[in-house]
Amino acid sequence: MRAVHAPSLCAVALLALLGTAQAQPASSGDTPGATLGSLLDLARARNPDYAAMRLDAQATGERELPAGSLMNPRLKMELQDITRGGERAPTLLPSEAGATVYTLSQDLPWAGKRALRQEAAALETEAAQGRAQQTWSELAGRIKTLYLDRWRIQGTQRLVNENLDLMLQLEKVLQVRYATGLAAQQDITRIHVEHTAMRAELVALAGEWRQSQTRLNALLGRPLQSELAAPATLPPLPAPDHLDFNRLSDTLRASSPLLRTETARARAAEKARDLGLKNRYPDVTLGVSAMQRQGSVNEWGVMLELNIPLQRDVLRAQEREAQSLLDAAQARQEAAANLAQADLADALSALQTARQTEHLMTYSLLPQADLTWAAALAAYENGKADFATLLDAQRQIRTARLGQLKAQVDARMRLADVERLIGEDL
């Protein structure tokens, strides 16, 4: 009777060692999502929140000219002695009244008030533009995070599918080995459990993929079920010397949208305080009048009117209010700067950690896992190890690859946090 030789596991093992990538479907050139730039361009043009903030800033900018302008002049017409000493019925005709007085007047604020109002309005515009820029930075950060999450999901699906293919081929080998008495029944059961768990993981990943597509479409201002292309490239990381904390801290202070907004608010509060101090002095109204009698103008006059700031208690209360608002704005500015610096330090630290983790996974853990798998495979074929040991070795490779993928994505997510804080792409 001829002996039946079980197939060698070496061919099957090559799948685990080579990690053949699953082919990705080709994306349509008209479908966004393949690159991060295509998503950001679409969001810049279509996101409603960003559009609203830009329009708010534009509307705020239109307040600068009115804030520094004089009030419209006033024209007053006064009919005097409309009954001509009681000799006739009242009349509203200027030529028939006893006298008609025409007064043209103009309000003139105290020197410096118009300039302060215009400067305060310009600073409010600066704050509104900062809020619009901050909205874009946060929106871009969310889009970058979702893009990277889709890259992670796609990479995880690829790794799970590779391992599932390996498990299915191992199962075929085990079926032959079991028929020849070289494998135990529990080995077949174990591998069934293993690839069932992988199929369940693929179902969960498919759900995550659909959710990420829905959230991304919402940020892009597109119908929620619109198709998105799969990510095609992983954004590169800048060189380590471009991620120096001191250098980025200077950039943060110069261009952070949040700090720009808080600085403008503090300066606007300072102008409001200065304007409140100007209220100690009276505003002026100048006027010129002409008097018409019997159809002809024969008298002229001029007018000077002052509002007298006598209620000192009210003025002092308003000044104290303005000073408190200024102090509060400056405190918020300082708090925002401190928090932004701390967030920047945290993001850079996490980025460095992710980079080091990826290096360890790539150059240490993965080679060790491959050696463990090769040793377990040889021991199993020689009957010196059971199938559970072989599965554990294969799980180590899978864990190392998933860790490598996670570290790659985590590093770029922390980079997105840095870019959101400083308001610039690196």
Contact 157, 207 (CB under 8 A): no
- The pLDDT tens digits of the residues spanning 153-175 come to 999 999 999 888 888 877 777 77
- Enumerate long-range contacts of 341-346, CB under 8 Å, 24 or more apart: 341/249, 341/252, 343/417, 343/421, 344/245, 344/248, 344/249, 344/252, 344/418, 344/421, 344/422, 345/245
Say how many C-beta atoms besides its own lie within 10 A of residue 267's C-beta. Answer: 21
Task: Name the nearest CA neighbour of 80 among 98, 95, 102.
Answer: 98
Is pLDDT of 12 > 60?
no
Q: Which three-class secondary structure state does DSSP give residue 304? A: strand
CB under 8 Å to 384, separation ≥6 — which residues?
Answer: none
**pLDDT (0 to 100) of residue 117:** 92
- The pLDDT tens digits of the residues spanning 385-412 come to 777 888 888 888 888 999 999 999 999 9
Q: Average pLDDT in the 59-77 region?
A: 91
Per-residue exposure over 38-58, b if at least 16 CB sit within 10 Å of its own CB, e if not: bbbebbbeebeebeebbeebe
Phi and psi torsions of 124, nearest 5°: -65, -35
Query: Which token pair is 158?
Result: 């690829």
Band (92; pLDDT cuts 50, 70, 90): confident
Band (419; pLDDT cuts 50, 70, 90): very high
- The pLDDT tens digits of the residues spanning 318-337 come to 899 999 999 999 999 999 99
Quickly count helices (H) and strands (E) in the chain. 11, 4
For residues 275 and 172, which has the higher predicted lDDT (pLDDT)? 275
Minimum mean pLDDT among 60-69, 94-103, 110-119: which range? Answer: 94-103
Is pLDDT of 4 > 50?
no
Q: 18 exposed, middle or buried (CB, 10 Å; 0-12, 13-18, 19+)?
A: exposed
Model pTM score: 0.82
